[in-house]
Amino acid sequence: MSGPLLSVESISLAFGGLKAVNAFSLSLGRRQLWGLIGPNGAGKTTAFNLLTGVYRPDSGTVSLEGRRLNGLPPHEITAAGLARTFQNIRLFPDLSVLDNVRVACHLDARHGLLAALLRTPRHLAEEKAMEERSRALLSLFGLEERADDDARNLPYGDQRRLEMARALATAPKVLLLDEPAAGMNPREKDELTDLIRGLPARFDIAVLLIEHDMGVVMDLVEGITVLDHGETIAVGAPAAIRRDPKVIEAYLGTGAVDEAVDEAVDEAVEGRA
Amino acid sequence: MEARPGPSAAVTALRGVLPFLVGAFASLLLHFVVAPASGPFATKLVMDAGINVILAVSLNLVNGFTGQFSIGHAGFMAVGGYTAGLVTYYGSMLLWGSPAAHGGFLGGGELLFLAACLAGAAVAALAGLLVGLPSLRLRGDYLAIVTLGFGEILRVLLQRTGDVLPTAAEVRRTPLPELATHVGGALGFTGIPFYTSPFWVGIFVTVMLVVAYRLKSGSHGRSFLAIREDEVAAEAMGIPTTRVKVTAFVLSALFAGLAGGLFAHLVGTTLNPRELGFQKSFDVVIMVVLGGMGSISGAAIAAVILTLLPELLRSFSEYRMILYAALLVVVMIVRPQGLLGLGEIWDVWRPRRKGTGR
């Protein structure tokens, strides 16, 4: 296969006079892990919302395997192969853990409403396949024991992982993770990092990761795009990004001295430990 | 997914239709054994309760499963009832020269009645599509406003219709489309033959319950529930939310139309615009809220209780709405998710919920 899997070309979005995202570009290859970082309000989640169709870009294009996605409604973008998690967890709280994942398997179902009402063999076979696939995903994320619990009763870290399992159930080609480690303790973060690292090979997907925790990103991704005030201020390998003066300035403000770099690095390393 | 040979496929097919067979058997039993033994008053109550069960469970597809808020269910009931009434009343006039019930059990008259109910359901579903399509594209409370308006507009239109044509000669003289305007106005559509029997109520209740349960335990129904839980997340999981909401709404209107058909042909009720006004819609909403938003058995039980309650408290029936309102307030405080919430009555005996499936 030639060409990138996901290709984002210079998308922009303004809310009135505020340029929330300006000329954002990105190219993701198969099985690539990429990070999207930036200080609060930099436009990271807005960029995600542009990719997934929640907002329509004012200009620019998003295409997946050459197919243009922008302009499509969110559910068609998901069906096309772009799945996401939410920064502020959005599970289906009153449904069981299993059903949360099964809901997202519905794209597998080819039978119509009538087949479901008559319980045709095809309906039963597809329902069984969906349940098996859901249980396999749950066990990968260590949630199989909690399959029958209501999603609302899961501890916070489990809810985050359930969101990832649910997004994967849509069988995406690209997975967008919006701060999956937010609010986790260091040990949980470590486990999560290992899990995310294994995703591209296991599911043959590319992963785009928004993360506040520098330690998590630096350690995980091949490359990073840094946003600040909607502008892309740096693109490159983690090591280069870490030393980039513009990035340090964006994160720590003007006048940040070189020691700040070392501190940031130390903090990141500690964060992982 | 190749078809497995022999008994397994046969067993699957049997399991597919078994609930319908059981329902049909129960309906026959109700019709020929239970009803004759318990007298006309009890039989009428049972039929009232059955019709309310269909109304409550069908409204639950929208208000409970999909989390939208419709308060115009009686409107769809009226669409189905008037359509079915038109077919049987004027159909009987044209076929047999008189609107009186014709033929015995499963005779010609009952077949016309069945066709009329299905026609009523189809027209109600179409009305559901017309109302749902524009209003379900939006999120929030628009549906409540639109369905309320729909019910009221329909009521006013029905009140302005002409008198029912009393003789076969007049019916033959009148062009078919014009017959639709002769449904009795504010006085109601009188003279519709009484075809509704415990058997037919039992059959349609069975279909309603099986459809609702199979929906809930399959991927289509899970999509309904996902929308109720979080519409944004449902959309992000690839669920075409507008289409699914419209599907639920049309299905709900279809069964309301069916209930309307049964209501129109029931002894002791008149099909009139006031009877099927906002008050009736609100009664059904109360059944759903009391029984549990998303609980099939909960809505059904609440429908039965709220049908029998006014009969038990006959002398208070004027104050029914005060009692209902008080009941609602108490439930909202003590148990906001309703009697059964999202669960079913048989879940009560299970310590942990096994998904929404079996």
Query: Which residue type is seen at B328?
Result: L
Q: Are residues A67 and A196 in the same domain?
A: yes
Percent of chain A exceeding pLDDT 70 equals 91
**Per-residue confidence band for A268, with pLDDT thresholds at 50, 70 and 90:** low
Instruction: Dump pLDDT digits (tens) for B48-91.
Output: 999 999 999 999 999 999 999 999 999 999 999 999 999 999 99
Query: Structural domain tally of chain B?
Result: 1
Cβ atoms of A173 and A64 within 8 Å: the answer is yes
Contact A117 B215 (CB under 8 A): yes
Give the sheet arrangement for strand A223-228, strand by strand: A82-84, A174-178, A206-210, A33-37, A223-228, A231-236
| Chain B residues 228-247 with CB within 8 Å of chain A | 229-230, 232-241, 247
Model pLDDT, residue A261 = 57
Q: Say what the ipTM of the complex is.
A: 0.88
Cα of A193 to nearest chain B Cα, Å: 23
Does A128 reach chain B within 8 Å, measured CB to CB?
no
Does B222 reach chain A within 8 Å, measured CB to CB?
yes
Does A149 reach chain B within 8 Å, measured CB to CB?
yes
Q: Are residues A99 and A161 in the same domain?
A: yes
What's phi and psi for A236, nearest 5 deg? 170, -175
Closest alpha carbon within chain B to A176: B236
Query: Which residue type is seen at B74?
Result: A
For residue A36, give the nearest of A155, A143, A177 by alpha carbon: A177
Residue B347 has pLDDT above 90, yes or no: no
Instruction: Dump pLDDT digits (tens) for B219-255.
Output: 999 999 999 999 999 999 999 999 999 999 999 999 9
B219 contacts in A (CB within 8 Å)?
Answer: 102-103, 105-106, 109, 116, 126-127, 130
Contact B219 A119 (CB under 8 A): no
Tell me which residue range forms the domain holding A123: 90-169
Model pLDDT, residue B14 = 86
Angle between helices B219-229 and B241-264 (to 10 degrees): 110
Does B102 reach chain A within 8 Å, measured CB to CB?
no
| B255 within domain boundaries | yes
Q: Are residues A266 and A197 in the same domain?
A: yes
Q: HEC states along B237-296?
A: CCCCHHHHHHHHHHHHHHHHHHHHHHHHCCCCCCECCCCCCHHHHHHHHHHHHHHCCCCH
Model pLDDT, residue B341 = 85
Closest alpha carbon within chain A to B237: A104
**Per-residue confidence band for A97, with pLDDT thresholds at 50, 70 and 90:** very high
Contact A99 B225 (CB under 8 A): yes
For residue A166, give the nearest of A91, A73, A94 by alpha carbon: A91
Does A134 reach chain B within 8 Å, measured CB to CB?
no
| B250 within domain boundaries | yes
**Residue B305: CATH number of its domain:** 1.10.3470
Percent of chain B exceeding pLDDT 70 equals 95
A136 is written with which tokens?
């396999």
**Domain end residue (candidates: A130, A154, A169):** A169
Model pLDDT, residue A260 = 58
Q: Are residues A21 and A140 in the same domain?
A: no
Q: Which residues in A3-19 are b (16+ Cβ under 10 Å) and which e?
A: ebbbbbbebbbeeeeeb
Instruction: Dump pLDDT digits (tens) for A223-252.
Output: 999 999 999 999 999 989 988 888 888 876
Least confident of A258-262, B12-16, B127-131, B191-195: A258-262
Contact A73 B240 (CB under 8 A): yes
Q: Are residues A178 and A268 in the same domain?
A: yes
Q: Across residues B92-111, what is the average pLDDT? A: 92
**Per-residue confidence band for A267, with pLDDT thresholds at 50, 70 and 90:** low
| B195 within domain boundaries | yes
Query: Structural domain tally of chain A?
Result: 2
Model pLDDT, residue A263 = 63
Residue B355 has pLDDT above 50, yes or no: no
The length of chain A is: 273
Q: Across residues B85-111, what is the average pLDDT? A: 93
Contact A99 B356 (CB under 8 A): yes
What's phi and psi for A33, nearest 5 deg? -110, 120
Instruction: Dump pLDDT digits (tens) for B111-121.
Output: 999 999 999 99
For residue A100, give the nearest of A170, A32, A186 by alpha carbon: A170
Select the residue of A76, A92, A150 nearest B225 (Cβ to Cβ): A92
The length of chain B is: 358
Q: Are residues A193 and A153 in the same domain?
A: no
| B355 within domain boundaries | no
Does B336 reach chain A within 8 Å, measured CB to CB?
no
Does B20 reach chain A within 8 Å, measured CB to CB?
no
**Per-residue confidence band for B357, with pLDDT thresholds at 50, 70 and 90:** very low
Residue B356 has pLDDT above 50, yes or no: no
- Which letter does DSSP use for residue B64 in this model? I
In a mutagenesis test of the B interface, which of A51, A90, A130, A149 is the best target, namely the one with the most B β-carbons within 10 Å?
A: A90
Residue B1 has pLDDT above 50, yes or no: no
Q: Are residues A95 and A177 in the same domain?
A: no
**Residue A29: CATH number of its domain:** 3.40.50.300
Model pLDDT, residue A218 = 85
Tell me which residue range forms the domain holding B86: 17-349
Query: Which residue type is seen at A160?
Result: R
What average pLDDT does the structure give for chain B? 91
Q: Are residues A161 and A104 in the same domain?
A: yes
Cβ atoms of B298 and B344 within 8 Å: the answer is yes
Contact B238 A91 (CB under 8 A): no
Instruction: Dump pLDDT digits (tens) for B21-41.
Output: 999 999 999 999 999 999 999
How many angstroms from the chain centroid is the CA of residue A105?
18
Calpha distance B87→B106 (Å, rounded): 17
**Per-residue confidence band for B312, with pLDDT thresholds at 50, 70 and 90:** confident
A and B: number of Cβ contacts within 8 A: 131
Contact A92 B226 (CB under 8 A): yes
A132 contacts in B (CB within 8 Å)?
Answer: none
Does B22 reach chain A within 8 Å, measured CB to CB?
no
Calpha distance B258→B81 (Å, rounded): 8
Does B352 reach chain A within 8 Å, measured CB to CB?
yes
**Domain end residue (candidates: A169, A190, A216):** A169
B1 contacts in A (CB within 8 Å)?
Answer: 121-122, 125-126
Select the residue of B230, B238, B241 nearest A170 (Cβ to Cβ): B238
Contact B237 A103 (CB under 8 A): yes
B225 contacts in A (CB within 8 Å)?
Answer: 92, 94-95, 99, 103
Q: Are residues A195 and A63 in the same domain?
A: yes
Model pLDDT, residue A145 = 95
Closest alpha carbon within chain B to A163: B233
Q: Are residues A270 and A178 in the same domain?
A: yes
Q: Return the bridge partners of A18, or none.
A: A15
Contact B16 A120 (CB under 8 A): yes
In a mutagenesis test of the B interface, which of A51, A78, A88, A103 is the best target, namely the one with the most B β-carbons within 10 Å?
A: A103
What's phi and psi for B80, nearest 5 deg? -65, -40
Contact A74 B247 (CB under 8 A): no
Q: Are residues A187 and A270 in the same domain?
A: yes
Model pLDDT, residue B62 = 96
Q: How far, in Å, are A115, A121, B55, B110, B208 from residue A118 at the CA level? A: 5, 9, 22, 25, 13
**Domain end residue (candidates: A169, A200, A227):** A169
Residue A45 has pLDDT above 80, yes or no: yes
Cα of B304 to nearest chain A Cα, Å: 25
Cβ atoms of B46 and B201 within 8 Å: the answer is yes
**Per-residue confidence band for B346, with pLDDT thresholds at 50, 70 and 90:** confident
Q: Are residues A165 and A177 in the same domain?
A: no
What average pLDDT does the structure give for chain A? 90
Closest alpha carbon within chain B to A152: B229
**Per-residue confidence band for A64, with pLDDT thresholds at 50, 70 and 90:** very high
Residue A31 has pLDDT above 70, yes or no: yes
| B12 within domain boundaries | no
Does A144 reach chain B within 8 Å, measured CB to CB?
no
Closest alpha carbon within chain B to A104: B237
Model pLDDT, residue B139 = 75
